[in-house]
């Protein structure tokens, strides 16, 4: 999506449609075309080197054979036939989709609420920006550190359990808090909510306040304003945030490993296992399949909301 959009921008800049071409360009139409190609070239080269070629390499390697310590150039379908027939794959994808769905619902709910508060309840721009910057403070540390910090907090003898025990709310430590699906989704929500807040906040700030006044004048309740005016106008922001959250969760492996205590698995974690066991072709096949699934998901989202039209 973003590369596509970026190329579009550059192309538009290079070919000023509708404006009269400069005299030199008019006399030498080839020069005009050449110049625009030249303008597109840096980005095209970068994308080709760092995106297209690596992905093609992954696709090629996914057809290779491997044994314990070697990968052997070949064209075999073993990697895919195991991938598509194994019960493990299904389990992995169901698990990963479950995390993605839960993380998406929760980040969307929290993200929308936070953005709504910032955009409509905080009146002064200074305070809006201050609070917005405040939201980004956790990003000053690495996301692994932020994740690991949960472990001593949620553990069997962790702070939360000690607090609950001493308050007499539970009579034995709650074990589901750590090394569980709960812990994994918690970490995802903690890590990725900001990716929802930012684009939704951006959309909300663009909403013409007159529309809301009109809705109120027409007798809409606050809830109706949110549901019928704010929400539809935030769709592009929600779509962009959703793309961030869903793609990040679908490709994650470290959160699942650390917060799941190695007992839970996701597609990304399976891939990382395969890489560590030198099964690059199998990992490549996994990556191709995951890429296809995620692209389909993104395409579906883009179909529901035309992000570019509504921006």
Partner 1 sequence: MTRKTKGNTGRQGLSRRAFVKSAAVAGGAAIGSGAVRGFPTIWAQNIKNVTLRQFGTGVSNLNAVAEKCKQDTGITIQMTALDSDAVAQRAVTQPNSYDIADIEYWICKKVFPSGNLQPMEVKKLAYYDAIVPIFKTGKLTPDSVIAQGTAPHTVGFVEGKNSTSFAKQPTEWMTLIPTIYNGDTLGIRPDLIKKPVKNWRDLLDSDYVGKASILNIPSIGIMDAAMVCESLGKVTYADKGNMTREEIDKTMAVLTEAKKAGQFRAFWKTFDESVNLMASGEVVIQSMWSPAVAAVRSKGIACTYQPLEEGYRAWGGGLGLAKHLSGLELDAAYEYLNWYLSGWVGAYLNRQGYYSACLETAKKYMSADEWGYWMEGKPAQKDILSPDGKVMEKAGAVRDGGSFEERMGHIACWNSVMDENSYMIRKWNEFIVA
Positive or negative, the CA dihedral 18, 23, 29, 32 is negative
Q: Which range of residues in 4-12, 18-26, 85-93, 230-238 is near partner 1 by CB under 8 A?
A: 85-93
The binder of partner 1 chosen from 69, 75, 125, 168 (CB under 8 A): 69
**Listed residue (289, 281, 291, 286) closest to 62, CA to CA:** 281
- Rule CB under 8 A: say whether 156 interacts with partner 1: yes
Please choose, out of 21-29, 154-162, 200-208, 292-300, the segment that lies near partner 1 by the rule CB under 8 A. 154-162
Whichever of 172 and 209 has its CB closer to partner 1, that residue is 172
Q: How far is the CB of 92 from partner 1 (least distance, A)?
A: 6
Q: How far is the CB of 175 from partner 1 (least distance, A)?
A: 6
Q: Distance of CA 99 to CAs 180, 249, 251, 260, Å?
A: 12, 7, 11, 12
- CB of 98: closest distance to partner 1 in angstroms? 13
By CB under 8 A, tell whether 74 contacts partner 1.
no
Cβ proximity to partner 1: between 92 and 102 the closer is: 92
Q: Which of 234, 149, 250 is nearest to 197 (CA)?
A: 234
Q: How far apart are CA 273 and CA 280, in angstroms?
A: 10
> Considering only 128-136, 172-180, 236-244, 290-298, which stretch makes contact with partner 1 by CB under 8 A?
172-180
**Options 4, 67, 171, 217; binder of partner 1; rule CB under 8 A:** 67
| CB nearer partner 1, residue 164 or residue 233 | 164
Q: Which of 6, 51, 56, 88 binds partner 1 (CB under 8 A)?
A: 88
Count of positions on this chain that bind partner 1 (CB under 8 A): 30
Determine the distance from the C-alpha atom of residue 235 to the mean position of all C-alpha atoms in its chain, rounded to a whole number. 16
Instruction: Report whether 274 contacts 194 (CB < 8 A).
Output: no
Which of the residues 91 through 120 are near partner 1 (CB under 8 A)?
Answer: 91-92, 95
Site string for partner 1, 264-293 (x = CB under 8 A): -x----x--x--xxxx--------------
Please state the closest distance from residue 288 (CB atom) to partner 1, in A: 18
Residue 151 C-beta: closest distance to partner 1, Å? 8
Least distance (Å) between residue 94 CB and partner 1: 10
Which one, 69 or 140, has the nearer CB to partner 1? 69
Binding site for partner 1 (CB under 8 A): 67-70, 82, 86-88, 91-92, 95, 151-152, 155-157, 175, 178-179, 257, 261-263, 265, 270, 273, 276-279
């Amino acid at each position: 999506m973003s590369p596509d959009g970026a190329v579009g921008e550059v192309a538009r800049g290079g070919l000023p449609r509708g404006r009269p071409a400069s005299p030199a360009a008019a006399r030498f139409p080839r020069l005009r075309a050449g110049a625009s190609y030249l303008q597109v070239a840096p980005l095209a080269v970068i994308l080709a080197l760092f995106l297209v070629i690596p992905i093609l390499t992954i696709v090629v390697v996914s057809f290779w054979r491997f044994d314990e310590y070697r990968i052997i150039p070949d064209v075999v379908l073993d990697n895919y036939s195991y991938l598509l027939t194994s019960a493990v794959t299904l389990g992995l994808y169901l698990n990963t989709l479950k995390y993605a769905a839960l993380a998406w619902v929760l980040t969307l709910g929290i993200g929308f609420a936070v953005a709504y508060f910032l955009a409509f309840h905080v009146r002064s721009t200074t305070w809006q920006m201050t609070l917005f910057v405040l939201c980004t403070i956790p990003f000053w540390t690495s996301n692994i550190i932020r994740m690991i910090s949960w472990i001593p907090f949620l553990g069997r003898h962790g702070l939360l359990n000690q607090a609950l025990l001493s308050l007499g709310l539970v009579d034995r430590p709650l074990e589901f808090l750590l090394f569980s699906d709960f812990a994994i989704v918690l970490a995802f929500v903690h890590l990725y909510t900001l990716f929802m807040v930012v684009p939704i906040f951006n959309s909300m700030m663009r909403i013409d306040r007159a529309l809301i006044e009109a809705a109120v004048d027409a007798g809409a309740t606050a809830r109706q304003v949110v549901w019928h005016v704010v929400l539809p106008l935030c769709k592009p922001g929600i779509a962009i945030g959703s793309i961030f959250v869903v793609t990040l969760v679908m490709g994650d492996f470290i959160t699942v490993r650390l917060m799941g205590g190695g007992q839970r698995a996701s597609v990304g974690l399976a891939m990382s296992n395969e890489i560590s066991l030198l099964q690059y072709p199998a990992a490549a096949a996994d990556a191709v399949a995951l890429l296809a699934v995620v692209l389909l998901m993104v395409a579906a989202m883009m179909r529901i909301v035309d992000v570019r039209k509504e921006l």
